[in-house]
Amino acid sequence: MQIPFGQPSLGAREARALMRALRNGRVVGNGVLSLKAQAHLRELTGARHALLTPNATQAFELFLHTGAGAAGGFLGPGDEVILPSFSYVSMANAIAARGATPVFVEIERETLGLDPVAVASAITERTKLVLTVHYGGMACDLDGLLAVCGERGVPIFEDAAQAIGSTLRGQHLGTFGAGACLSFHATKNVTCGEGGALLLDDEGAMRMAEIAHEKGTNRSAFLRGEIDKYTWVGTGGSYVLSDLLAGMLDVQLERTAELNARRLEIWDLYQAGTQWLEDAGSVFRCVPRTGCDHNGHIWWMVAQDQALADRIIDGLRGEGIQATFHYQALHASPFARQHLGTDGLDLPLTTQVSDCIVRLPLSSSMNRKKAETVMRALKKVV
């Protein structure tokens, strides 16, 4: 049996949504289907504002146009943004592209999210933003980060790309900081192939984001009938998602609880089925934060050394099971070493996680039977 790492669950409802959008011929962005999906997203997350974007990467770039990403201004040369080195390249790239400096710090072992103690010692008067990741849809130490950043007056941006449907004490991840991004890439729990969203709370930031969303124009106000013509009023980009995809996304958003429940069933099965590996001291695994209801986006374990991680990944592949590694530490990347001077930076946990993490197949298209096959194969290859 071949078990792929992941496969989105797309069916007749998504196909009908696409056909509906095609038939009504309104496939550009910011049309009725986008407005509907945005309303749906606000309802689901409790965020005051939501703007659909072509991906999470651009949602963060859009956020940087609002000025909310830098205490009292826009991000630029001389500014620093603290973020985990164990994270996706998009955010670090957007910071560097603005001439600001990504400052990479250590993660915590339990969730692989940003470590507030490391953040506290990295904050300087140049720190304009702290960017945290809810890895695998699991809440990072938000209380710790909010305390540290609140004290120093530094805004937090939550990379909630993987966190649709995840909550901490009932509050949706992505609604704790100054802004957040969500991803609807095909690998995510809820998908429209490629897609994303920016969540915001502040009215002023939302007004700027609306302008930046539409290439620096007041087209959104025009579409609402508030003005006769639209024109250039700020800086921005082309950050709008097609209504074709927004219609499909709306259907997937309706299915959030179902899609997350399917992942969680597999996540729980893996967690129970690998206890023996942790008891033997061979791996460490996620310890979900108290009060966090997560969405089962990723199931991971970190092997005691790279040889074991490779043996597991290669061995499972030999059994037709696509297990895989994840992010390569950003501070050790060629770009960071060459342009950000990170050569001497020592982040031991990040390095171990980057070298030794193993993710097992997990998606809403999987079933218990396949997950049990994975557990049996794991016993065989370790």
Ligand X SMILES: Cc1ncc(COP(=O)(O)O)c(C=O)c1O
* Catalytic annotation present for 379: no
- Interface with ligand X in residues 173-192 (CB under 6 A): 183, 185
Task: Report the DSSP pairing between strands 283-285 and 300-303.
Answer: antiparallel
Q: Dig out the tokens for 9 from the structure.
A: 């669950």
Burial classification of residue 370, based on how many CB atoms lie within 10 Å of its CB (0-12 exposed, 13-18 middle, 19 or more buried) = middle
- By CB under 6 A, tell whether 49 contacts ligand X: no
Q: Indicate which single residue of 14, 108, 141, 159 sits in contact with ligand X (rule: CB under 6 A).
A: 159
Which of 188, 229, 379, 380 is catalytic? The answer is 188
DSSP state at residue 135: G
Which residues neighbour 201 within 8 Å (Cβ) at sequence distance 6 or greater?
Answer: 47, 48, 49, 175, 178, 179
**Partners of 82 in beta bridges:** 103, 130
Is residue 132 a contact partner of residue 114, using CB atoms and an 8 Å limit?
A: yes
CB of 380 to ligand X, least distance (A): 30
Looking at the Cβ atoms of 128 and 188, the one nearer to ligand X is 188
- Residue number, 10 or 56, with CB nearest to ligand X: 56
Is 83 a binder of ligand X (CB under 6 A)? no
* DSSP reduced 3-state for 5: coil
> Taking CB under 6 A as the rule, does residue 133 contact ligand X?
yes
Residue 87's nearest CA partner among 368, 331, 340 is 331
Q: Does 158 bind ligand X (CB under 6 A)?
A: no
Phi, psi of 379 (to 5 degrees): -60, -35
CB of 170 to ligand X, least distance (A): 23
Q: Least distance from C-beta 159 to ligand X, angstroms?
A: 5
- Token duo for residue 92: 């670090």
Only one of the segments 51-59, 75-83, 216-224, 284-292 lies at the binding site for ligand X (rule: CB under 6 A); that segment is 51-59
Token digits of residue 332: 């050790």
Helix, strand, or coil (residue 91): helix
User: Position of tokens 């037709």?
Assistant: 320
**Going residue by residue from 334 to 373, which x/- string records binding to ligand X, judged by CB under 6 A?**
----------------------------------------
What binding mask, one character per residue, do residues 262-301 give for ligand X by CB under 6 A, x or -? ----------------------------------------
Query: Contact between 56 and ligand X (CB under 6 A)?
Result: yes
Q: By CB under 6 A, tell whether 329 contacts ligand X.
A: no
- Residues engaged in binding ligand X (CB under 6 A): 55-57, 87-88, 90, 133, 159, 161-162, 183, 185, 196
Known catalytic residues are 188
